[in-house]
Amino acid sequence: MNAEHIDAPHPTPARGVPPIRFDVWLDRAKTLAGGFSVRIKILGIILGLIMVLGLGITWQVRSSMISFMNNELDRLGQSHAAQLAEENSELLATNDIAGVTLALEAAVAQHADSVYAFILGPDGEVVAHTFDDTGFPPDLLSVAMSDERYLDFGGEAGVVHNYSNPILNSAQGVVFLGLSEARLLRAIDGTTLQLLVTTVFVGVIGAVAATLLTWLLTRPILDLVHTTRRIGQGDLSARATIWAEDEIGSLATSINQMVSELESNRRTIAESRAARTRLLEQLIGAQEDERKRIARDLHDTVGQALSSIMLGASLIERSDADQEQRTRAVELRKLSAETLEQVRRMSRELRPSVLDDLGLAAALDRYAAEFRLRYPEIVTDLHCDLPQRLPPAVETGLYRVVQEGMTNVARHSGARTLSVLVTRRDATVRVIVEDDGVGFDPAEARRNGQSVGIHGMVERIELLNGSFDIESSDSGTTVYVEILLDDSEVAPR
């Protein structure tokens, strides 16, 4: 009959016994080791190796010596027992018990490890022994007759190895000899103690050597750590000391080369930023001058021309011209008046003269009034707390930022309310423009380059050494601007 293959059931772990997670213990060990410094780790490794090797060698030497002791005792015990059997055979034949006793005592006295010797007759009676007046121990006979080879005598004798040898094939009895291992164990214990003392001594020397080694190894590392911290704090003049031409020295050389390149790149970037800042200042200054010139030309030249046209239309309107000409003159005067108002508004937006004459607060008040007229659906609230005039560059920059912010609210946010707050406390000027519009993602707008106005506001504030931030969500957008005035600009004007 063919035997069918039967799959053996897979063993399942016993319930209630969680599996051992070696990875968890490994992670804990790594965490524990990571909490110590490199110096402590090196010291621990060296001392651990010394102690493990020392204790291992001590244990191995002690085990070898004990094994050798047992073998020697066995060899000596068997040899002496055979010798005693041969020596006492003739004395037993003549029934010289006293001579047998003396022979046993002499044999025990000659060997330092001998504890006792006795002879049992063929009938199991003790014929002779080496014990003193206390007599033969009653328990020794039963133990000696058993298969037990090791007897615990206690006291100085300790463990005794029991050996026996028949006399004339047991015709005259059996001789028993007891050899103690106490003396040899004391010698082994002494050797073990010496090895342990040597291990401790070597451990002390190893600790001193490990301390010196860790100092030699960790001093360059600590110097590198100190150097990298200074570099991380922005001090690119820091350089690592090269202690030796080894791996750590190569690392220090690489760090120094990297810092030198960083320092060179920083100088290049700083020079580029300074050049860019100067160029931007000149560009914005030229832009503001051009705005001022165009605004003045619009106000003076175009404004005067439109005023003249309006005056001529008024004269035609009051002349004896026919009705059609007077009607056209009226239309021309109205169109000229509207155009003049637009020109004046454009002139104020380009460069409001009130900003130069009366300051930022007055210019923002006028701009807010015009903003309310142009966007009546947006409730606009402006609050300016400026006890004194600001520097011209600061006033111009903040005016343009507020202007751009309010324009963005009107064009993109769909807000119903707009709040503008401009305050000054000591040397700090703060501007907050807040609305309740739909909001947007400022970071995404900057990355995609979709908001040229935001970029312009940021550049203006950075030129004034200020901070610019935008917070936006579904409930609205808030622009924060803060400028710290120089000491020369804090005093009242």
Which residue range is the domain that position 77 belongs to?
39-188
Identify the residue with better confidence: 238 or 333.
Answer: 238
- The number of helix segments (H) and strand segments (E) in the chain equals 14, 10
Identify the residue with better confidence: 327 or 418.
Answer: 418
Residues 426 and 403 in one domain: yes
Q: What is the pLDDT of residue 477?
A: 92
Predicted confidence (pLDDT) at residue 296 exceeds the cutoff of 80: no
**83 belongs to a structural domain:** yes
Residues 288 and 264 in one domain: yes
**403 belongs to a structural domain:** yes
Identify the residue with better confidence: 299 or 127.
Answer: 127
Predicted confidence (pLDDT) at residue 4 exceeds the cutoff of 60: no
pTM of the prediction? 0.47
330, 310 Cβ separation under 8 angstroms: no
**197 belongs to a structural domain:** no
> Backbone phi, then psi, for 469, in 5-degree steps?
-145, 150
- Which residues pair with residue 478 across a beta bridge? 434, 471
**Which tokens is 475 given?**
């409930």
> Backbone phi, then psi, for 242, in 5-degree steps?
-95, 105
Q: What is the pLDDT of residue 149?
A: 72
CA distances from 168 to 93, 100, 110, 362 (A): 10, 15, 24, 140
Predicted confidence (pLDDT) at residue 360 exceeds the cutoff of 80: yes
Q: What pLDDT band is residue 12 in, cutting at 50, 70 and 90?
A: very low
Report the Cα–Cα distance between both ends of the chain, in Å, rounded. Answer: 118
Q: What pLDDT band is residue 239 in, cutting at 50, 70 and 90?
A: confident
Alpha helices in 10-165 (DSSP H): 22-34, 38-93, 97-110, 138-145
E strand intervals along 181-244: none
CA distance 365 to 390: 16
**54 belongs to a structural domain:** yes
Amino acid type, 296: R
Q: What is the pLDDT of residue 284?
A: 65
**75 belongs to a structural domain:** yes
Predicted confidence (pLDDT) at residue 421 exceeds the cutoff of 90: yes
Q: Select from 331, 426, 421 the least CA-distant residue to 381.
A: 421
Q: Sign of the CA dihedral 314, 317, 320, 322? A: positive
Q: What is the pLDDT of residue 34?
A: 65
CATH number for 394? 3.30.565.10
Residues 136 and 173 in one domain: yes
Residues 381 and 347 in one domain: no
Of 295-309, 323-337, 454-468, 471-485, the range with the highest mean pLDDT is: 471-485
What's the average model confidence in pLDDT over 286-298? 65
Question: 81-114: per-residue pLDDT in tens?
Answer: 888 888 888 888 888 888 888 888 888 888 888 8
**Which tokens is 3 given?**
């035997």
Q: What pLDDT band is residue 115 in, cutting at 50, 70 and 90?
A: confident
74, 212 Cβ separation under 8 angstroms: no
Predicted confidence (pLDDT) at residue 383 exceeds the cutoff of 90: yes
What's the average model confidence in pLDDT over 160-184? 84
> Backbone phi, then psi, for 482, in 5-degree steps?
-140, 130
Identify the residue with better confidence: 19 or 326.
Answer: 326
Q: What is the pLDDT of residue 423?
A: 93
SS3 162: strand
Q: What is the pLDDT of residue 430?
A: 93
How many CB atoms are closer than 10 A to CB 203?
18
Identify the residue with better confidence: 451 or 490.
Answer: 451
Q: What is the pLDDT of residue 11?
A: 45
- Which residues pair with residue 152 across a beta bridge? 159
Q: What pLDDT band is residue 13 in, cutting at 50, 70 and 90?
A: very low
CA distance 375 to 411: 10
Q: What is the pLDDT of residue 50?
A: 86
Predicted confidence (pLDDT) at residue 380 exceeds the cutoff of 80: yes
Q: What is the pLDDT of residue 161?
A: 86
Instruction: Count up the domains in the chain and report the number.
Output: 3
- Residue where a domain stops, chosen among 319, 351, 383: 351
Q: Which residue has the tokens 């007055």?
A: 362
CATH number for 116? 3.30.450.20
**492 belongs to a structural domain:** yes
Residues 334 and 398 in one domain: no
Residues 342 and 392 in one domain: no
Residues 375 and 436 in one domain: yes
Question: 116-154: per-residue pLDDT in tens?
Answer: 888 888 887 888 888 877 777 777 777 766 766 777 766
Residues 145 and 266 in one domain: no
Residues 301 and 411 in one domain: no
Question: 26-54: per-residue pLDDT in tens?
Answer: 777 777 666 677 778 778 888 888 888 88
Identify the residue with better confidence: 340 or 128.
Answer: 128
**6 belongs to a structural domain:** no
- Residue where a domain stops, chosen among 161, 188, 215: 188
**222 belongs to a structural domain:** no
What's the average model confidence in pLDDT over 395-421? 89
Question: 241-255: per-residue pLDDT in tens?
Answer: 887 777 778 888 888
Q: What is the pLDDT of residue 279?
A: 65
Q: What is the pLDDT of residue 155?
A: 67
Q: What is the pLDDT of residue 110?
A: 86
Residues 59 and 150 in one domain: yes
Residues 151 and 269 in one domain: no
In degrees, rounded to 5, the angle at the alpha carbon of residue 360 between the alpha carbons of residues 358 and 363 is 70
What's the average model confidence in pLDDT over 354-365? 86
How many CB atoms are closer than 10 A to CB 169?
6
Predicted confidence (pLDDT) at residue 478 exceeds the cutoff of 90: yes
- Residue where a domain stops, chosen among 156, 171, 188: 188
Residues 177 and 264 in one domain: no
Q: What pLDDT band is residue 7 in, cutting at 50, 70 and 90?
A: very low
Identify the residue with better confidence: 197 or 349.
Answer: 197
428, 484 Cβ separation under 8 angstroms: yes
Q: Select from 138, 160, 137, 136 the least CA-distant residue to 148.
A: 160
CA distance 323 to 363: 44
Share of the chain above pLDDT 90, in %: 11
167, 119 Cβ separation under 8 angstroms: yes
